[in-house]
Amino acid sequence: MDILTPDTILRERYKIVKLIGQGGMGAVYKAEDLRLGGRMCAIKEVLPVGMAYEDEIEAYREQFFQEASILARLDHPNLPKVSDYFSDEGREYLVMDFVEGMDLREIINEARRKGEFLPEDQVLNWIGQLCDALSYLHSRTPPVLHRDIKPSNIKLTPSGHIKLVDFGLVKLLTTDDSRTVTVVQGRGTVQYTPLEQYGGDTGHTDVRSDLYALGATCYHLVTLQPPADARQRFLQPGSLPLPRTINPGISPALERAILAAMAMHPDDRPPSVEDFSEMLFATHDVVAPGGVYIAKDTPWLDAFWQHKPLFIAAMLLLFLALVISFALPAA
């Protein structure tokens, strides 16, 4: 694709400063708003890749404007404000606030270089802000899924606020979930993508899909290692190391919340971001998926998760011993 060069002016208003990022279906630029002196913005450029017919392109453009109009109505402190959207020479553009600061991937890499884990209270503060943003998105009409939550799409501003910056894979759900529209077709980033999302727009995704990505992001933050992807975990059960085996300093409650959010089947995850947040921050007993109550600090449960294969083997041996004892004739 052709990249816009610095000083290119779009819509007689936005002056391109530099390229921020590029993918197969578009690019993101930093630009200056010539009507509002000193205001910098981020402009996402979207291409109708793989569409050869005019009716396909027109339908795609209508979908883009439908989504963009909904995104422009979003207003939350942990989301960049979408201020404009338009078409220009066959390309669609989404204009939003430019967010200063480092993204969480850069912060993770810096912590790895120092050989220091990120403090748990700091990670919880960040994840709490993301929970607020996702709770807001999921409560819209129609609900809005992000579908590409990952450390590089999350920025930490100089003031300490978290911003979920990339709407590239936003997916809007109608109330009856009978159809979906998507600004950019895609499947997210492999380490943070739940198994049900690999079907693209044909796969059934809901708020629990975002929750998986949030849990995977939290896993990366506390371990400084990206998690094993869902396909690998499906083919090789046990390939996801428990967070506390990598970082023993994190609390059992945080580990349990991460593993619950990253459950392979959506039904085994917390049903909502609010439930996940409750698992993270509640000081009383919390409800895990399936209606099972789990105390926040339960040493026996921690031991089970740390030595799950041994527990299962021991239970099988006990069962086998009982079967043999009943099968043997009485003396």
What percent of the chain stands above pLDDT 90? 55
Q: Do residues 67 and 178 both lie within one domain?
A: no
User: Is 290 a residue whose pLDDT tops 50?
Assistant: no
Q: Comparing 40-49, 117-126, 134-143, 284-293, which segment has the lowest mean pLDDT? A: 284-293
Q: Is residue 188 part of a domain?
A: yes
Catalytic residue list contains 148: yes
What is the structure's pLDDT at 309? 64
Domain that holds residue 329: 307-331
Q: Last residue of some domain: 64, 97, 130?
A: 97
DSSP E strands in 174-229: the ranges are 180-182
pTM of the model: 0.77
Type of residue at 151:
P
**Active-site hit among 103, 148, 166, 210:** 148
Domain closes at, from 97, 131, 152: 97
pLDDT number for residue 46: 84
What is the per-residue pLDDT across 171-212, written as a single tens digit (0 to 9) for each? 555 444 433 333 333 445 789 989 888 765 545 788 999 999
**What's the pLDDT score for residue 285?**
44
- The tokens 């993101």 sit on which residue? 28
Same domain, 330 and 280: no
Q: What is the pLDDT of residue 121?
A: 95
Judge if 228 and 261 occupy the same domain.
yes
CATH number at residue 112: 1.10.510.10
SS3 135: helix
Backbone angles phi, psi at 197, to 5 degrees: -85, -10
How does pLDDT run across 19-76, given as a tens digit for each residue? Answer: 988 876 778 999 999 999 889 999 999 876 666 667 777 887 888 888 888 889 999 9
Separation of alpha carbons 127 and 118, rounded Å: 13
* Number of independent structural domains in the chain: 3
